[in-house]
Structure 1
Amino acid sequence: MSITKDKMKNSLKDKSSIWLTFSRTNYPKAKDSFHCFFEGEDRKYYIDRIEQFTSFKSEEIIGYDCKGKKAVIDVYKKIISTQKYSSSALGFFVDRDYELDEKIEDSILYQTAYHSLENCYVVLSAFKDIVNKEFGINTIDEDFEKVINDYKDRIDEFRNIVAYINTFIICFQKLGGQLVLEKFNLSDFLDIGIESIQVKMDISLEEIKKYYLSKLTKDLEMNKKYSQENYDNFCSIISKVEEIFNDELLVVQTCLNTKIHGKMELYFFKKIIEDLKRLNKINKYFTHKRDCIYIEEQSKNILSNLSKYAETPNCLIAFLENLGSEKLQKYQFAN
Structure 2
Amino acid sequence: MSVENLRKARRSHVVAYTEFTRYYKSFPFALYCFFEGEDSKYYGIRIKNIAKPRKYFFLPCGGKNGVLKIYQIISSEEYYKTSKTAYFIDRDFDESIYKKDLDSIYETPCYAIENLYTSCQCFSEILRDEFKLVDGGEDFLKSIQLFEKLQTEFHDAVSQLNAWAACQKDRNVELKMSKWSICKFVKISLDGITKSYSLEDLHAKVKTAVVLTSDEILDKEKELREKDPQKSFRGKFEIEFFLKILRKFREEARKGNPIYFSEKINVLLSLSDGNTISELSQYAETPSCLITYLNQFCDV
**Both proteins in one fold, TM over 0.5:** yes
Alignment partner of 2:261 out of 276, 286, 295:
286
Aligned to 1:248: 220
Could you report, residue by residue, the CA deviation over 1:222-246 in whole angstroms, capped at 9, with x for unpaired residues? xxxxxxxxx2x32xx214x656222
Alignment partner of 2:147 out of 145, 148, 151:
151
Scaled by the length of structure 1, the TM-score of the pair is 0.80
Whether 2:247 is the aligned partner of 1:257: answer no
* CA drift at 1:323: 3.0
Aligned to 2:128: 132
Matching residue's letter, 1:142:
E
SS in structure 1 at match of 2:38:
coil
Aligned to 2:115: 119
CA distance in 1, matches of 2:122, 2:299: 28
Matching residue's letter, 1:272:
I
Scaled by the length of structure 2, the TM-score of the pair is 0.89
Whether 2:126 is the aligned partner of 1:141: answer no
Aligned to 1:323: 297
CA distance in 1, matches of 2:127, 2:295: 30
Alignment partner of 2:45 out of 37, 43, 48:
48
Report if aligned partners of 2:91, 2:107 keep a CA contact under 8 Å in 1. Answer: yes
SS in structure 2 at match of 1:300:
helix
* CA drift at 1:200: 4.8
Q: Map 1:223-234; keep pairs closer than 5 Å.
A: 231=207, 233-234=208-209
Aligned to 2:78: 83
CA distance in 2, matches of 1:48, 1:306: 12
Report if aligned partners of 1:120, 1:312 keep a CA contact under 8 Å in 2. Answer: yes
Compare 132-141 and 96-105 and name the one that shifted more: 96-105
Alignment partner of 1:303 out of 258, 262, 277:
277
Structure 1 portions without partners, runs of 5+: 1-6, 217-230, 327-335
SS in structure 2 at match of 1:18:
helix
Q: Kindly tell me the number of residue pairs found equivalent between the two proteins.
A: 291
Whether 2:185 is the aligned partner of 1:213: answer no
CA distance in 1, matches of 2:137, 2:215: 50
* CA drift at 1:282: 3.0
SS in structure 2 at match of 1:238:
coil
Alignment partner of 1:272 out of 238, 241, 245:
245
| Sequence identity percentage | 26
Question: Which structure has the larger Rg over C-alpha atoms?
Answer: 1
SS in structure 1 at match of 2:57:
strand
* CA drift at 1:299: 3.9
* CA drift at 1:107: 4.3
Whether 2:156 is the aligned partner of 1:160: answer yes
CA distance in 1, matches of 2:273, 2:180: 21
Report if aligned partners of 2:154, 2:193 keep a CA contact under 8 Å in 1. Answer: no
Could you report, residue by residue, the CA deviation over 1:171-224 in whole angstroms, capped at 9, with x for unpaired residues? 101011122325743223322234x323153x5xxx22x1123335xxxxxxxx
SS in structure 2 at match of 1:191:
strand
RMSD: 2.4
Q: Larger relative CO (CA 8 A, sep 6+): 1 or 2?
A: 1
CA distance in 1, matches of 2:178, 2:201: 13
Report if aligned partners of 2:153, 2:193 keep a CA contact under 8 Å in 1. Answer: no
* CA drift at 1:270: 1.0
CA distance in 1, matches of 2:68, 2:295: 22
Greater helix content:
1
SS in structure 1 at match of 2:85:
strand
Change (3 A) 1:178 1:304: same
Aligned to 1:21: 19
Report if aligned partners of 2:51, 2:298 keep a CA contact under 8 Å in 1. Answer: yes
Report if aligned partners of 2:150, 2:193 keep a CA contact under 8 Å in 1. Answer: no
SS in structure 2 at match of 1:214:
helix
Report if aligned partners of 2:90, 2:107 keep a CA contact under 8 Å in 1. Answer: yes
CA distance in 2, matches of 1:159, 1:181: 18
Report if aligned partners of 1:12, 1:71 keep a CA contact under 8 Å in 2. Answer: no
